[in-house]
Amino acid sequence: MTATMPDVDSGPHIHTRKPLPSLTGVRFFPALLVFFIHALQPIGPVDPTGPVNPFADQDLAQGLVKFFLPAGYLGVSFFFLLSGFVITWSVKPGERVTAYWRRRIVKVFPNHVVMWAAAMILFASAYTPMRTWLPNLFLVNSWINDFSTQMSVNAPSWSLCAELLFYLSFPLLLLGVRRIRVERLWWWAGATVAATVGVGLVTVYLLPDTPRNAYIPLSPTQNWFNYTFPPMRMFEFVLGMLLARLVIANRWPRIRAVWVVALLAAGYAAATYVPAPFNMVATTIVPFGVTIATIADADVRGIRTRLSGRVMVWLGNVSFGFYLCQGVVLFWGRQAVLGNATYSTPVAVLVMLGMFAATLLVGWLLYACVETPAMKYWGRARSGQVAPRLPQGAAHGRVPQRPGRGAEPAATALQATDKA
């Protein structure tokens, strides 16, 4: 008997799920955070392809690096949380598990393989042996406690190792998450937050803390365990799943946008002062979770936000490509075109804008020419696949209403944004 995806809820009915355009739009901002630190850091993750900060004013350059230093860590953390939320929201009850896995693999691998090949052709093959590039190609490099292997070939792709683990384990995780009683979801959410702090405590007190370097104040083993080892990032993904259930169950409180922005600012400010490894996840996991759930709740209630406009949704759609191509466009392209020169502040700002435009262009090309066609031709359901269950009453023209919210047409009951 072929395993199929259960509904998110274990109750007697299926809640309607609206598309979440604002949640698609917000995806661009964590990718932009990663861009800033990649474009500003004084050295890339793998020599000799790292960019040099384009600002000749060293005080300004160091200040910018210090301000944006947590940005890369936090952008990735936001994506992990968002993945758990969106994939839970967009579950198709009755879909074969193998079909779900195929869609998720098609979402990741075509873009990854294209950028892996580009990096190998342009620069990585010159100094990357097979024992290093092969794990990167199959997205198992982050499981290996070796920094040069984790960040090999196209460095940003390390995070896809964790995403792949999330995707493959999601059907099993969902069986557990859907069994949690609604009134206990908050307790489980708190437990996942505490677990991220626990990962930091294990990192600090149980793992060797030498050697270190000036830019990553952790030993290679500590950095691997806390940041790139996929199982340790599972708590963020599960928190996203729990938050999705809270929004689906209409248990998320109404929070004004000004308080969400203030909470985000406070979390980022804390990340600039709290020592590693706690500044990588722990300081912002609550602000990010509140942000994601509040934005999704606004979409569900039909509130238009600035994130749901056409431009922001487009930026959100291309954000995966924008993130993934940074290892080639910034770590190689910057030096190939401009060398290691530094510039006066006005010119350096123009250089940054140029790097942004080039990265956005390549990200759009990946989305339009690789990701979209791949999902169209390989991500579609095959004939004979079990059809998603409709809400009770849909066969008679009725769709159950969420408490305090309007009903939707049956045709949109299972629509959701699948952009994680």
* Spans of all domains in the chain: 21-412
Radius of gyration of the chain (CA): 22
Here the tokens at position 337 are 């075109």
Q: What is the mean pLDDT of each run of 10 residues along the chain (420 residues)?
A: 72 62 95 93 62 87 90 94 95 89 94 96 91 96 94 93 96 93 95 97 94 81 96 97 94 94 96 93 96 96 92 96 94 86 93 96 97 88 46 35 38 37
Element (H, E) at 195: helix 185-206
Task: Report how far residue 299's alpha carbon sits from residue 310's, in angstroms, rounded to the nearest whole number.
Answer: 15
231: which DSSP letter?
G
The CB-based long-range contact list for 389-392 (8 Å cut-off, 24+ gap) reads 389/7, 389/14, 389/93, 389/94, 390/14, 390/414, 391/13, 391/14, 391/16, 392/12, 392/13, 392/14
Contact status, residue 271 vs residue 77, Cβ threshold 8 Å: no
Written as one string, the DSSP assignment of 115-180 is HHHHHHHHTGGGT--HHHHHHHHTT-GGGSS-HHHHT-SSGGGHHHHHHHHHHHHHHHHHHHHTTS
Task: Report how far residue 143's alpha carbon sits from residue 369's, in angstroms, rounded to the nearest whole number.
Answer: 30
**What's the burial of 160, exposed, middle or buried (CB within 10 Å: 0-12/13-18/19+)?**
buried
Quick one: pLDDT at residue 340?
Answer: 82
Amino acid type, 364? W
Decide: helix, strand or coil at residue 251.
coil
CA dihedral 300, 302, 303, 308 (to 10 degrees): 80
Task: Report how far residue 208's alpha carbon sits from residue 46's, in angstroms, rounded to the nearest whole number.
Answer: 23
Phi and psi of 4, rounded to 5°?
-125, 160
Contact status, residue 295 vs residue 307, Cβ threshold 8 Å: yes
Quick one: pLDDT at residue 267?
Answer: 96
Quick one: pLDDT at residue 397?
Answer: 34
Taking residue 19's Cβ as centre, other Cβ atoms within 10 Å add up to 17
Phi and psi of 197, rounded to 5°?
-65, -40
Task: Tell me which residue of 226, 241, 250, 102 sits closest to 172, measured CA to CA.
Answer: 241
Phi and psi of 47, rounded to 5°?
-65, 155
Task: Report how far residue 203's alpha carbon sits from residue 191's, in angstroms, rounded to the nearest whole number.
Answer: 18
